[in-house]
Copies of this chain bind each other. A is one copy, B any other.
Amino acid sequence: MKTADPELMRAINRFTVLDTIRRHGPISRVEISERSQLSTTTVSAITASLLDDGLILTRHEGDIRNAASRGRPRVMLVLNPDAARVVGAKIAAHQMHFVVTNFCGEVISHLSLPIRVNRQPVGVISDLIEDGVRRCVVDAGLSLDEIDTVCIGFPGVIEHRTGLVRSSPILSEPDVDFAREMSQRLNVATIVESDSHAITLGHHWFGKGRDLDDMVLVSLEQTLGLGVLNGGQLFRGAGGLSHNLGDLMMGSGLAETIRLSAVAGEQAILGEQSQQGRFAEAVRLGRGMAHAQALIAAEDNGLTAAATRAGEAIGIAVANIVTLFGPPRVVIVGSSLLLGEVFLNTLADAYRRAIPPSIREVAELVFENSPDEMWAQGAAVVALCELYESPWGTTGPAPAPQF
C-alpha cells in the first residue's frame, strides 16, 4: 500500500508545476497558480526550488499580456533545456533511430542507421545499439557522462518494470534482460519500453494527443502495438506488461480463428508478394510498405486484396479496443499507413461498421504517419517522464558544487 507523507505531497505538487511549465510554454507564476489550483505562495515556493535546482529559467522578455497592462510585469518561466539530456532509441527490424534531446524533449541530434538487425544474436544487437547511442551523443557535441537516461523502444512484449524483453520479433530468444545489458555497456541508467508506449507518450507531448489526457494509440509496424493513456499516464497492465495487439485472436470459433498479426502484420501483408525481385529487395531494406503503395496504385491485385483484408481486420480490432477503453480519440500510426487510401478507407469503414451504435460518437480516429524520428523522440519522452517524477532537490543526487 502506498503511504502518504509530506515528501509525496511535495513530489506531486512539484511535478504538477513542472508539467504545467512544460506544457504551457513561457508562463508566469500567477497563471500556474490558476491552472493548477495551487495557491500563489505555494507556486512561488516550488518555482524557487525548481529555479534553485536549475530545472527552469526566468525570462523577462515575453510578457504577452495585453500590452497596455499596468501593474508589475509577469516574469515568465520556462523549462531549462539544459537541465538534462536523454537518449531515445527506436529499434526496428530494418533500421534503428536515435535521438538526443534536451530537458524539453527537443531533438538535439538525430541518427538513423539502416541496418537489418532482425534475428541477430543479442550480443550483436546490443553492440549496434551501443554504437548508435555513442555516435548520436557525440553528434550532439556531448559525452556519455552528460546523458542522464537512455530509453530504448523495442517492438514486442516488454515488461517495463523489470526492463525485460519478454518476446520480440527482433530477438531470437525470449526473456532478455536488455535494460541491464545496456546499463552495463553504457554506464548510464537505461529504460526499456515498448515502442508503442514510446510513440504514445511522444504524441501526448508533441503530436496528436497534446490536448488530451485520455487516448489510445494503435501502432501498425512489424508488430501491432497499443498504447493507452489514462489520466495523462500510460496505462501499464498488471506487472507492467505492454500490450501486443497482434496477438489478438480474430474469430468466434477456433476453426476460423486467426491471429491479427497473421492478417494485418507487415509480414502478412507483404509476405505473399515478396518473392519477386525488386519488391523482395525493398522489403529486405525495410521499404516494403512504400513500395507496396506504388504497386497498389498500379493495381496489383494480390497486394490490394491483402491490404483490404488487413484494413478490415484492424478496423474491427480498433472498434473492440474502443469498446473496452472508450477513449475520446484513437491515433493510428505506423509504416502500414503507407499502404495508402485503399487500406485507410477500408480500416475506417470497417471501424464504423464494427463499433456498437451506443458508443459510435465516443471516439474519433486520427491517422498520422509519424516520422521515425518521432518514435525515438517518444522513447526520449519516456525517459524524461521518469526524470520529471523523480525527486530532484531533496533526496536526489545533489549537484556537485562548482569552485
Task: For the complex, give the distance between the alpha carbons of A253 and B315 in Å.
Answer: 9
What's the least CB distance linking A162 to chain B, in Å?
Answer: 13
Q: Contact at A214–B243, with CB atoms within 8 Å?
A: no
Across the interface, do B35 and A1 meet the contact criterion of CB distance under 8 Å? yes
A249 touches B316 (CB 8 A): yes
Which of A5-13, A89-97, A286-294, A378-386 is near enough to bind chain B?
A5-13
Q: Can you report 26 residue pairs joining A to B where beta carbons are below 8 Å apart?
A: A1-B19, A1-B35, A3-B13, A3-B37, A4-B10, A4-B13, A8-B9, A174-B358, A230-B237, A230-B238, A238-B327, A239-B328, A239-B362, A241-B326, A241-B359, A241-B362, A247-B356, A250-B250, A250-B251, A250-B252, A251-B251, A252-B263, A254-B316, A254-B350, A259-B356, A321-B324
Contacts A9-B8, A356-B244, A358-B166 given; does A325 touch B238 at CB 8 Å: yes
Which 5 A-B residue pairs are closest in the complex by CB-CB distance?
A214-B238, A250-B252, A4-B12, A237-B326, A247-B356
Copies in the complex: 2
Chain B residues within an 8 Å CB radius of A157: 358-359
**Count of A interface residues, CB-CB < 8 Å:** 67
CA distance A325 to B226 in the complex (A): 11
Query: A260 in the interface, Cβ–Cβ < 8 Å?
Result: yes
Contact of A38 among B3, B235, B250 (CB under 8 A): B3
**A112 adjacent to chain B (CB < 8 Å):** no
- Least Cβ–Cβ distance between A105 and chain B, in angstroms: 19
- Shortest A174–chain B CB gap in Å is 6
A312 contacts B by Cβ under 8 Å = yes
CB neighbours of A267 from chain B (8 A): none
Q: Which residue of B lies closest to A12 (CB)?
A: B4
A189 on the B face (CB < 8 A): no
A134 at interface (Cβ–Cβ under 8 A)? Answer: no
Q: How far is the CA of A281 from the CA of B8 in the complex (A)?
A: 60
A38 CB contacts on chain B under 8 angstroms:
3
Is residue A86 contacting chain B, with contact meaning CB distance below 8 A? no
Q: Give CA–CA (A319, B324) in the complex, Å.
A: 14
Tell me which residues across on chain B come within 8 A of A230, comparing CB atoms: 235, 237-238
Q: Complex Cα distance A53/B36, Å?
A: 32
A2 to chain B: which residues have CB within 8 Å? 12, 16
Other 10 A-B pairs with CB < 8 A, given A3-B16, A230-B235, A324-B324: A1-B16, A2-B16, A3-B13, A4-B16, A214-B239, A215-B238, A244-B323, A251-B252, A254-B316, A254-B353
| Beta-carbon nearest neighbor of A262 in chain B | B252
Chain B residues whose CB sits within 8 angstroms of the CB of A257 once the complex forms: 316, 354
Tell me whether A333 is interfacial, beta carbon within 8 Å: no
A20 contacts B by Cβ under 8 Å: yes
Q: How far is the CB of A246 from chain B (nearest CB, A)?
A: 9
Q: Is A369 on the interface with B (CB-CB < 8 A)?
A: no
Q: Which residue of B lies closest to A327 (CB)?
A: B238
With A214-B238, A244-B323 given, is the CB distance from A253 to B312 under 8 Å? yes
The distance in angstroms between the C-alpha atoms of A235 and B214, with both chains bound, is 13
Judge whether A258 is part of the interface by a CB distance below 8 angstroms: yes
Q: Does A118 lie at the interface of the complex (its beta carbon under 8 Å from any beta carbon of B)? A: no
- With beta carbons under 8 angstroms apart, the residue of B4, B241, B244, B323 that contacts A247 is B323
Contact with B along A253-277 (1 / 0, CB 8 A): 1101111100100000000000000
Q: Which residues of B contact A241 (CB under 8 A)?
A: 326, 359, 362
Answer whether residue A248 sits at the interface, using C-beta atoms and an 8 A cutoff.
yes
Complex CA–CA separation, A263 to B256 (angstroms): 14
Q: Is B312 touching A252 in the complex (CB atoms < 8 A)?
A: yes
